[in-house]
Structure 1
Amino acid sequence: MSNLRIVAYLKPSCGWSNGVRAILKKYNLPYEDKDIINYPENMEEMIMKSGQPFSPCVEVNGEMLADISGQELEEWLIAKNYVQRIDQPVDVPINQACSGEHHQSQPIRVNFEL
């Protein structure tokens, strides 16, 4: 749907992030992919918008879906009538956790000043 504005706060390589990407690709939905690992400002923005530090977070037309899997995103998009279910497989699991190496944490500084 061309009327959707989708911003996805994702890790470059992560089971859940890849699941979200797979669902957006499956439904041919354009989106902005904001890397929260290599660009700390994207992580800060995600935390400010979602109110929490867990990813993936996907913002659809201003509505934030925090800490969501690809499977949950697909069900939400269908429930909102943004897409109609397509019964075709995707090339990655859509509800799989990240492996341990994807969680190497770096300090995150969040500026709450307005």
Structure 2
Amino acid sequence: METPRFIQGVYSFEGQGLERPVPLRPVIGYTVPRDKRAQLIYLRAGNATPELIYLLLTRDGQPMRYFPIGAKGAIHVPLVIVEDIPPESVLELSVGAPEGVRGLATIDIGLAEI
């Protein structure tokens, strides 16, 4: 039986350059339970800054997905091709933004534990 999990909120950041993604504040993380697998079902996000940013989803410290968000824009990514994320994997979300850009990102991520 699937159990839905959500990561939602408004998160702040200060860009350190597009090549240096940094954690959002507060830090966003999710650990797959040891007896489950997870699947990323969708991501919705908004960018309140006048600059391009991107969200970087990592699994156990390795890049998994990049989600670019235009200036003062929003995205909705329904993930048609989903992959199983193994038990005890650690997912974290960071943001890449031009150096010195401060802003807010609105995040809504849907996961399914199976």
Quickly name the TM-score band, shorter chain normalised.
under 0.3
- TM-score normalised according to structure 2 size: 0.26
**Structure with the higher strand share, 1 or 2:** 2
- TM-score normalised according to structure 1 size: 0.26
